[in-house]
Amino acid sequence: MIVGCAVLLVAAAPSGTAVVPDRVIAKLAARLFPVLSAWPRGVRPEPVAAILTLRHQRIAACAGEFRCVLQAARWTDSERDAIAGAGDQTGVRAASDDGIRASILREIGGIKAVIGVYGQGVAPRYPKIDGPDPERAAANAAAAVALAEAARDAPATALDPSIGLALALLDVNDRDDAAAFEPLDARLNHAAMARAKTIDWSHYRYTAIIVPGIGPEDLSTPLSALGKLNVQMAATLWKAGLAPFVLFSGGTVHPRGTRNAEAVEMARAALERFGLPADAMIVEPYARHTTTNLRNATRRLAALGAPLDRPALISTNPDQSRYIASATFADRNQTELGYQPGRIGARLSPTQVLFQPSAASLRIDPSDPLDP
């Protein structure tokens, strides 16, 4: 009944009616698929135009049957390679260090991952904290197909139906985590962004003190005991004048279903308990793992205009500090990110590790759609 109603609602929409843009979907598209969602409507060079037409026809032939649509929306290797090869004709600039072709390949890989996990039962990378509700998975997938069809002409998803479908699958599962704090720097970091314009970075030993989150294990605790320790240590280092900013990193991760973002709670504690001013704190509320703590911290440093050829200082509890400095962590970065987010330097103390950021961290990769 739910699926039937959704299809009827789509069919009842007047033909030729302009789609009202969904602001949440538009923000999510910009975060997950920055190149594909910005692809200009008028740019359809061959063979891209022919491929997109065939893909539309293949999906339309499913007549709304959601399992068929999910399979038809997946990209073949030849389709993927063709559209990636045409990326330099769009005029869209990729923020990554490895160019627009590589960016498009990652974005299409992200579409595949979302459709697989949230539509076709593929196991997520982190099953304890990711993935759909198994009892609602089929109904939500059917609803996502109808939702994507209803918004098929929206600007952010107009290039190909698979873009809107992937976003709809996340939406119906309430997993818009990747855009939950957007626009991030205007909302949470505006004071620090303004101050960064006045900073002479050469006056400081480090560009920032990076503080990874340590999540609590229950829904009622906003900041864990080790999180409090990390905040206190970082406040001490900042007041010693080692860096102009403290950069708190950590998302809504532990336990599953929490609404407390580790970075937000640490920044609140730093302000209320230790008096750190808002313009000295950077909040990075998306990272869900230690790997992405460092990757995302690099992104925020780049947004600040901090020189990436200068070191930052990671300050955290001894166990996490030891882990960050280990070969195990380097191997995990290579496996999960495909690169090192930066060079881990000397461990200066049980709680301090040097970090040299890498521009490779600017690569957007929606294969982890909750934090690309």
- 172 & 194 share domain: no
Per-residue pLDDT of the chain (372 residues; tens, 9 = 90+): 344 444 434 444 455 567 788 999 999 999 999 999 999 988 999 899 999 999 999 999 999 999 999 999 999 999 999 999 999 999 998 889 999 999 999 999 999 999 999 999 999 988 888 899 999 999 999 999 999 999 988 999 999 999 999 999 999 999 999 999 999 999 999 999 999 999 999 999 999 999 999 888 788 888 999 999 999 999 999 999 999 999 999 999 877 778 889 999 999 999 999 999 999 999 999 999 999 999 999 999 999 999 999 999 999 999 999 999 999 999 999 999 999 999 999 999 999 999 999 999 999 999 999 999
Return the pLDDT at 8: 36
Question: How many folded domains does the chain comprise?
Answer: 2
Residue 238 covered by a domain? yes
- 127 & 216 share domain: no
- 185 & 282 share domain: yes
Peptide bond into 45 cis (omega under 30): no
**Tokens 């590790």 belong to residue:** 353
Return the pLDDT at 14: 53
Return the pLDDT at 217: 79
Residue 217 covered by a domain? yes
Whole-angstrom distance, CA of residue 276 vs CA of residue 269 = 9
Return the pLDDT at 320: 97
- 164 & 188 share domain: no
Name every residue whose Cβ is closer than 8 Å to that of residue 163 and which is 6 or more positions away in sequence: 29, 33, 36, 37, 111, 156, 157
Q: What is the pTM of this model?
A: 0.91
- 267 & 279 share domain: yes
Residue 368 covered by a domain? no
Residue range(s) defining the domain that contains residue 198: 180-362
Residue 253 covered by a domain? yes
Q: Which amino acid is at 339?
A: Y
Whole-angstrom distance, CA of residue 306 vs CA of residue 302 = 6
- 239 & 157 share domain: no
Residue 35 covered by a domain? yes
- 157 & 294 share domain: no
Residue 369 covered by a domain? no
Residue 201 carries which DSSP code? Answer: G
What secondary structure does DSSP assign to 55-99, as a single string? HHHHHHTTTT-HHHHHHHTSPPHHHHHHHHHTGGGS-PPP-STTH
Helix ranges (H only) for the chain are 2-12, 23-32, 48-60, 66-72, 77-85, 99-119, 137-150, 161-172, 184-187, 190-196, 225-239, 262-274, 290-304, 318-324, 327-336
Nearest to 342 by CA among 325, 364, 329, 359: 359
Residue where a domain stops, chosen among 111, 141, 176? 176
Residue where a domain stops, chosen among 149, 176, 203? 176
Return the pLDDT at 1: 36
Residue 94 covered by a domain? yes
- 285 & 211 share domain: yes
- 161 & 184 share domain: no
Residue 66 covered by a domain? yes
- 189 & 231 share domain: yes
C-alpha to C-alpha distances, 68 to 71, 193, 206, 300, nearest whole angstrom: 5, 47, 53, 41
- 80 & 204 share domain: no
> In a 3-state reduction of DSSP, which class is residue 112?
helix
> In a 3-state reduction of DSSP, which class is residue 163?
helix
Residue where a domain stops, chosen among 152, 176, 200? 176
Residue 217, domain CATH: 3.40.50.620
- 214 & 317 share domain: yes
